[in-house]
Amino acid sequence: MAFNLVYKRFGACSILVEWPAVIEEEILKDIMIFKTAIEKNNIKTIVELKHAYNSLLISYSSFLESFKNESDRLKNLYKSLNFKNDTVSVLWRIPVCYDAVFGIDLETISVEKKLSKDMIIKRHSESIYTVYFIGFLPGFLYLGGLDESLYMARKTTPRLQIEKGAVAIGGNQTGVYPMSSPGGWHVIGNSPIAFFNPKLKSPCFAKAEDRIVFEPISLKEYHNIKVLVEAGVFQLKSEVFHG
């Protein structure tokens, strides 16, 4: 599937390519195929490629003398692509403790949505989420696939500090805070695993198009896993995902 793309100059050294303004897996696939093709094309002056839900930012090492020449080159490359789907992704099983110790906003959601806490946890942990991209904070995964009954407008006043590992819901999104940060999302649990490790060659285990499921664990299991994570010996469960 090929889309009508919009090319915009962004600052002195970058081109922003935009897909239709919707969050869809078809678009994510399309972006990733184009991104991979640009990487393989090995254009020496490109220093950074960064994609989001419906956009790809291409940054060059110096001032873009001719936006037209460069965007024409990219348009031709896009036209030449073969959009068959042969991606293999990984499904990661992320342990999450939804105990009241961590799930500090479960009560609020429960009242607002007229759903029991157990039902919220069930619906949150039964979905398979798609990783769209990593942004906002080092290791923060933008996930698609939250159950509609759990959509919850962001808090009007953000918390000054959300704990590392907090699993939260904001609008139609859910995610895990890889480090402590201010934030306006509703916190429903905490994951003991590390989402970002700057010392590793691949600092994030997950990548765009991978899948995530959240597996409920008890407080006791949480502390056990935490110890293993801190000792650097915890093995995250994963499997190859076709679909």
Partner 1 sequence: MVKVLAPGLYSSIQDLGRIGFQKYGVPYSGAMDVYSAALANHILGNNENDAVIEMTMTGAKLQFNSQTCVCISGAAMSPRINNNTIKHNKNIKINVGDVLSFGKLSKGFRCYLAVSGGFKTEEVMGSRSMYLGVTDQFKLYKNDTLLINENNSYTGIKNASVKVNNRYFTTKEIDVFKGPEFEFLSENEQAFLFKKEFTISKDNNRMAYQLSEPLENSLKPIITSAVLPGTVQLTPSGKLIILMRDCQTTGGYPRVLQLKESAINILAQKFTGGLINFKL
Task: At 120, give phi and psi (nearest 5°).
Answer: -60, -45
Q: Does 153 bind partner 1 (CB under 8 A)?
A: no
In our burial notation (b when 16+ CB lie closer than 10 A, e otherwise), range 47-62 reads eeeebbbbbbbbbbee
Q: Does 138 bind partner 1 (CB under 8 A)?
A: yes
CB of 23 to partner 1, least distance (A): 6
At 197, the amino acid letter reads N
Q: Does 32 bind partner 1 (CB under 8 A)?
A: no
Q: Tokens representing 6?
A: 């919009």
Site string for partner 1, 52-81 (x = CB under 8 A): xxxx-x-x----------------------
Spatial contact of 168 and 184, defined as CB atoms under 8 Å apart: no
Taking alpha carbons only, the member of 79, 73, 33, 76 closest to residue 56 is: 33
CA–CA separation, 71 and 12 (whole Å): 14
Site string for partner 1, 33-52 (x = CB under 8 A): --------------xxxx-x
Task: At 40, give phi and psi (nearest 5°).
Answer: -70, -30
Site string for partner 1, 81-120 (x = CB under 8 A): ----------------------------------------
Q: Does 172 bind partner 1 (CB under 8 A)?
A: no
**With CB under 8 A, what is the number of residues at the site for partner 1?**
37
Per CB under 8 A, residues contacting partner 1 are 8-12, 14, 16, 18, 21-23, 47-50, 52-55, 57, 59, 133-140, 142, 178-179, 196, 198-199, 203-204
